[in-house]
Each structure stands twice: as structure tokens, then as C-alpha cells.
Amino acid sequence: MITGSAIRLMTSATGVIWWWYMGHIVCLSSQAYLKNPVTKLASNWFGDKERGLATAIGIVSGPLGILISTLLIMTMFDDQDKVPAMSGGNSIEKGQGRFKNFILV
């Protein structure tokens, strides 16, 4: 997933949008390796009574991470980032800086 994020970061460095798609594909393909071992880890590390709770926490952590990232996106960007290119360079540079931070998160 780190490799996919680094590839997506190349979008802001080069300005070529297909880096974003390639990095996103790498991130998505790595999620299969992160979601499948939840039940195996729960069955190996926890007893019979704790296994259900450990599996539930492991499975819920994915959607919870998506919720947190959505909330972070809403706090990082605002309506001033939608300013057209003709209105001035300072707001565009600020928006590009926020986009770079978004990709790193």
C-alpha cells in the first residue's frame, strides 16, 4: 500500500493523471492480503470466547478507516480549493499543497 501511495504521489510531481490510477490499482490489489488473515489471526491468537470479538474488530477496522479518511478529506479541502486557474496563483499553490498532503495521508 505504501508503494501504491508513492506512485499516486507522482501525480502531483509530474501532473500526469494516469499515475493516480496505477497507484490506486496497486493499493487496491494489496487490500486482499490485509483483509483475509483477520479470521486466521483471531483463531490462532485468541481463545474461543474472545475470537468473535477479535474477528469483529478486525473486520470493522476497514470501514472505520474509510470513514476516518473521508472525514480527513473534508477537513483538508474547502470551497476555496475549487477556484478557477484565472483567479490567481496563490490559491492554486495552496490547493496543490493540500492535494499532496492528501495523497500522503
What pLDDT does 59 receive?
A: 84
pLDDT of 85: 54
Max mean pLDDT range (7-11, 34-38, 87-91, 101-105): 7-11
What is the pTM for the complete model shown? 0.48
pLDDT band, residue 48 (cuts 50/70/90): confident
Which cell goes with 102?
492528501
Q: Residue 3: pLDDT above 80?
A: yes
User: Which residues does 69 contact at the CB level (< 8 Å), separation at least 6?
Assistant: 105
Rounded CA-CA distance 37/39 in Å is: 6
Confidence of residue 88 (pLDDT cuts 50, 70, 90): low
Percentage of the chain exceeding pLDDT 70: 70
